[in-house]
C-alpha cells in the first residue's frame, strides 16, 4: 500500500523546507549553548537529527490537520477547527520535544543532560511556530480554494458564453435560409438565368456561413465581401427599391465584428421599412470616428410589420457583443433615420471569451 503524505494546502512542504533548519538551529542553540556553534560535529549531527524529528512532527500534525478539515469543513467551523488543531499540535510537539531531549540524554549525545528550563523555552518557541504555521496553512488553503473557484468560474463562464453564442447563431441561420429560398422560388418562375446566378451567389453566402460557423469574430473586410453576395440576393428581389452604399476606410477593414452582423441589421431594416422604386430604402454602411461601423437607413415604416421577430434578431446581436467583451451596440433614431453604431473589435478582445 502506497503511503501518501498529508496535504492541507498546496504549499505544506515548501513551508516545511523553509522553516525546518531555522527551527532546528534555534532549538539546538538552547540545548547545547555555545558548544553547538563551537563544534562542527555537534552542529552537523544536532541539526540533522532535530530536522528529521521536526519533519516527522510536521507530518504527524499534517495528518491531524487533514482529518480535522474533513471532519469540520464548513466556513462557520473554521474557528473551532483551528482551535482543536492548535491544542493537538501543542500536545504532539510537547511529546516530540520531550522524546527528543530524553533520547539525547539516553545516548549521552555530546554530554547532553535534560534540564527543565531548556525544555520549557523550546516548548514555547515550538508553540509559537505551531500557531504561526497553523494560521499560515489555513490562509494558503483558503487562497488555493479561492483560486480554484476562480478558475472554475472562468471556465463555466467561457462554456456558458460559448453555448450562448452558438445558440444565437442557430437563431440567425434558419431565418436567413427561409428568406433566401423564398427569393429563389420567385426568381425561378420569372427568370431562370437570373435564378441560376442567384443560386451561385447564395452558395457563396452559405459557404461563408459554414466556414465561419465556429468563429466568434471575422474581419470587417471578410464580412463586406460576404455582404456583396448577400446584397445581390436582395437586389434580385427588390431591384431599385433597395440602395446600399458602403464607405469603410482601410484601417477599419482589418478590425473584427461577429459574423453575419451586417446581414442581421440589413434584414431588420428591410422587414420594418416599405420598399419601392418611388420610395427606396437607403442603407449606408460607413466608418465612424472612433473605430466603429455605422449602419444607417431612412425610416419609412410599414403599416403592418413583424417587428417583434426581427427586433429579436437585433437584440440577439446586441447580446452577442456583450458576451464577446461587454461592448455596447448603440442605436440612435430620429423621425427620418435610424443608425446602429457597432464597435470594432481587435483579435485580442476575442480571447477574453
Q: What pLDDT digit, counting tens, does each position of 218-244 carry?
A: 899 999 998 998 888 888 778 889 999
Chain segment 279-294, per-residue pLDDT in tens? 899 999 999 888 899 9
pLDDT at 304: 59
Q: Is the dihedral of CA 270, 276, 277, 278 positive or negative?
A: negative
Over residues 63-80, the mean pLDDT reads 86
Q: Determine phi and psi for 22, rounding to 5 degrees.
A: -60, -40
Which position has the grid cell 480554494? 145
Query: Radius of gyration over alpha carbons of the chain, in Å?
Result: 37
- What does the mean pLDDT of the chain come to? 81
pTM of the model: 0.51
162 confidence band (pLDDT: 50, 70, 90): low
pLDDT at 280: 92
Sorted by where each begins, the domain ranges of the chain are 12-151, 191-350
Chain segment 94-134, per-residue pLDDT in tens? 888 888 888 888 888 777 788 788 888 888 888 888 888 88
Architecture in CATH of 191-350: 2-Layer Sandwich (3.30)
pLDDT at 232: 86
9 confidence band (pLDDT: 50, 70, 90): confident
Compute the distance between CA of residue 269 and CA of residue 275 in angstroms, rounded to an integer.
10
DSSP-based three-state secondary structure for 285: strand
Chain segment 302-340, per-residue pLDDT in tens? 775 454 455 666 777 777 777 666 678 899 999 899 999
DSSP-based three-state secondary structure for 242: strand
Amino acid at each position: 500500500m502506497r503511503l501518501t503524505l498529508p496535504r492541507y494546502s498546496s504549499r505544506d512542504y515548501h513551508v516545511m523546507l523553509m522553516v525546518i533548519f531555522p527551527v532546528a538551529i534555534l532549538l539546538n542553540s538552547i540545548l547545547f549553548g555555545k558548544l553547538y556553534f563551537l563544534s562542527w560535529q555537534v552542529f552537523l549531527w544536532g541539526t540533522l537529527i532535530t530536522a528529521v524529528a521536526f519533519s516527522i512532527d510536521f507530518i504527524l500534525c499534517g495528518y491531524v490537520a487533514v482529518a480535522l478539515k474533513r471532519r469540520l469543513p464548513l466556513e462557520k467551523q473554521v474557528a473551532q477547527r483551528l482551535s482543536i488543531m492548535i491544542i493537538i499540535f501543542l500536545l504532539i510537539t510537547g511529546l516530540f520535544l520531550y522524546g527528543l531531549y530524553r533520547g539525547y540524554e539516553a545516548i549521552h549525545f555530546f554530554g547532553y543532560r535534560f534540564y527543565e528550563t531548556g525544555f520549557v523555552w523550546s516548548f514555547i518557541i515550538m508553540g509559537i511556530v505551531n500557531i504561526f504555521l497553523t494560521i499560515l496553512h489555513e490562509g494558503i488553503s483558503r487562497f488555493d480554494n479561492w483560486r480554484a473557484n476562480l478558475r472554475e468560474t472562468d471556465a463555466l463562464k467561457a462554456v456558458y458564453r460559448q453555448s450562448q453564442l452558438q445558440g444565437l447563431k442557430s437563431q440567425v441561420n434558419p431565418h436567413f435560409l427561409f428568406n433566401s429560398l423564398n427569393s429563389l422560388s420567385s426568381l425561378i418562375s420569372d427568370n431562370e438565368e437570373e435564378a441560376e446566378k442567384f443560386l451561385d451567389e447564395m452558395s457563396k453566402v452559405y459557404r461563408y456561413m459554414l466556414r465561419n460557423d465556429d468563429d466568434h469574430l471575422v474581419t470587417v473586410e471578410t464580412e463586406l465581401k460576404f455582404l456583396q453576395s448577400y446584397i445581390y440576393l436582395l437586389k434580385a428581389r427588390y431591384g431599385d427599391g433597395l440602395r446600399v452604399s458602403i464607405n469603410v476606410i482601410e484601417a477599419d477593414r482589418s478590425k473584427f465584428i461577429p459574423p453575419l452582423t451586417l446581414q442581421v441589421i440589413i434584414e431588420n431594416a428591410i422587414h420594418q421599412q416599405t420598399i419601392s422604386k418611388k420610395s427606396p430604402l437607403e442603407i449606408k454602411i460607413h466608418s465612424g470616428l472612433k473605430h466603429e461601423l455605422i449602419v444607417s437607413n431612412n425610416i419609412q415604416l410599414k403599416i403592418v410589420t413583424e417587428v417583434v421577430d426581427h427586433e429579436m434578431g437585433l437584440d440577439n446581436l446586441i447580446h452577442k457583443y456583450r458576451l464577446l467583451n461587454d461592448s455596447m451596440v448603440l442605436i440612435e433614431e430620429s423621425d427620418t433615420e435610424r443608425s446602429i453604431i457597432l464597435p470594432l473589435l481587435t483579435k485580442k478582445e476575442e480571447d477574453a471569451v
